Amino acid sequence: MKNSEFYTLPDVPPLLNSNLGKKLRNKLDNKTKPIGALGRLEDLALRIGLILGNENPELIKPQMLVCAADHGLTAEGISAYPSNVTWQMVENFLAGGAAVSVLSKQNNISLNVVDCGVRHDFEPREGLLIQKVSKGTKNALQGPAMSNEECQQAINNGMSIVSELEGNAVLIGEMGIGNSSAAAMLLARLTDNDISSCTGSGTGMFGSNLKKKTSILEKVLEKHKDAKNPLAALAAFGGYEIATMAGAVIQSASEGKVIVVDGFIASSAVLVASRIRSKVLDYCIFSHRSDEQGHSLMLDAMNAEPLLDLKLRLGEGSGAALAWPLLMSACTILREMASFEAAGVSRDDESK
């Protein structure tokens, strides 16, 4: 794959409104509290205000995107679960029984489940977006997981989905047996880390099984040693759900939406997107530090500081949904918390 010029991708502007930043910081500093007393919640409020371009930001109609696809590399035994679990979990999402389903409902987040490339035919229904490129990627040990055209289609699908969503916030999550392997290989290739430090247990691979998984990923990396730029690496390793999320991230940032990133696999999509459009990171809020080995390396590569560290490694968007109330609270602080003047409260320096 040549480079990002092969694609028609929107530009992503940097957040460069220094005047708004000063107004937001001054507003936070004048709330009825010691300066900085709300810690990282204040930084979060400032970031959301800058993304939405508003001193009184309000998060409207948040949309959860759970992108699902299968991976041909599972034929090599890299997962503790069979690939059928992918489509079965999609049904669970739609039935309201999964963690992301109940957490999205609790927080009034619209749940959109996207079939990006699941090896199963779903009956169309509300809440399901069928954007299937193919029934799973190819086995990356034998050749590229995706063709250039398939990779481009998946990215374009992510962009198209976001362009039609309501609201000003997108939360991204995923489902795909085998996708922790794709994420680990993307991390290793794009950050020059050893694959052993990037590979974790995923669905439950430990001991000799983890060693086998790592060995297979080493072989895949060697087979595709020339796939060095982000789009080439994405096509080589997969998957359709990661490519779709990457497109969704680029489109969301270009539209000035708040992007809430889930765990390891969702972060790998942001890593790819950020190597194509670096400014997408200005629009991303990383919800949590996953317990999956490699996520800390991935976060460090993007200079990202996540909001939570709950030892989660479920995926689905569950961590993004759990962090959502913090974003709501940050906006509420900006909009509703009284200033010293409005409340008639004296500052320390006024009483001396």
- The 10s digit of each residue's pLDDT in 177-216 is 999 999 999 999 999 999 999 998 777 778 888 899 999 9
> Given a cut of 60, is residue 74 above it in pLDDT?
yes
Clarify whether residues 124 and 203 are in a common domain. yes
Clarify whether residues 177 and 314 are in a common domain. yes
Residues annotated catalytic, as ranges:
316
User: How many domains are contained in the chain?
Assistant: 2
Handedness of CA 60, 61, 64, 65 (dihedral sign): negative
> Given a cut of 60, is residue 5 above it in pLDDT?
no
Clarify whether residues 71 and 44 are in a common domain. no
Clarify whether residues 95 and 221 are in a common domain. yes
Q: Are 174 and 158 in contact (CB under 8 A)?
A: no
Residues 6+ apart with CB under 8 A from 232: 1, 226
Average pLDDT rounded to a whole number, residues 165-170? 98
Q: What is the pLDDT of residues 76-104, one digit of tens each?
A: 999 988 999 999 999 999 999 999 999 99
Clarify whether residues 150 and 38 are in a common domain. no
Q: For position 18, what pLDDT does the model report?
A: 87
Clarify whether residues 228 and 304 are in a common domain. yes
Q: For position 200, what pLDDT does the model report?
A: 85
For residue 6, being part of any structural domain is answered with: no
Tokens standing for 167? Answer: 């609201």
Strand-pairing partners, residue 169, are 258
Clarify whether residues 212 and 342 are in a common domain. no
Mean pLDDT across the chain, nearest whole number? 95
Strand order from edge to edge, sheet including 110-117: 128-130, 110-117, 63-69, 169-175, 258-261, 284-286
For residue 5, being part of any structural domain is answered with: no
Tokens standing for 202? Answer: 């995923």
Domain extent for 111 = 63-330
